Amino acid sequence: MWLARGFLLFAILAEIAGTSSMKLAGDSGNVWGYLAMYTLIALSYFSLSLAAKKIAIGVAYACWEGLGIALITLTSVFFFESSLSAQQLVGLLLVIVGVVLVTLGESHDSPESRSETNKQVTTEPQIVAGKRVKTA
């Protein structure tokens, strides 16, 4: 699970760096900036997919997107001289609270045990293609 969280953290950082390089490339028109942007965003998605092997996709995506948005906004304030209103600050705090709540609600079972728990077992006969079939 720690490796998956490491991939998720890397995905968030790559998203922040990729989006920041998009701003820099857009301002300068430098082709290398666009190449860096595409590479970092691709690495972000790839790392997110690796994290999603062990972390539920809804939780991984909520963390990736929520923390990414919050940290990109803070990056734009500190490095690109953007302003942040009180309403936007409250919104960012709510995003962070939402990510924390989603993460705390995450099940810590392995994917294999979750799939076994979710299987419905019945001993009553089922009808398949007009014929009665006995199930486990």
Rounded to the nearest 10 degrees, what angle do helices 2-28 and 31-51 cross at?
160
Residue 47 has pLDDT above 80, yes or no: yes
Q: Looking at residues 77-89, what average pLDDT do you find? A: 93
Tokens of 14: 């790559």
- Domain ranges for the chain, please list them: 1-106
Q: State the pLDDT at residue 120.
A: 52
Q: Nearest 5°: phi and psi at 128?
A: -125, 125
Q: Is the full-model pTM beyond 0.75?
A: no
Q: Is the dihedral of CA 87, 95, 44, 61 positive or negative?
A: negative
Q: State the pLDDT at residue 29.
A: 87
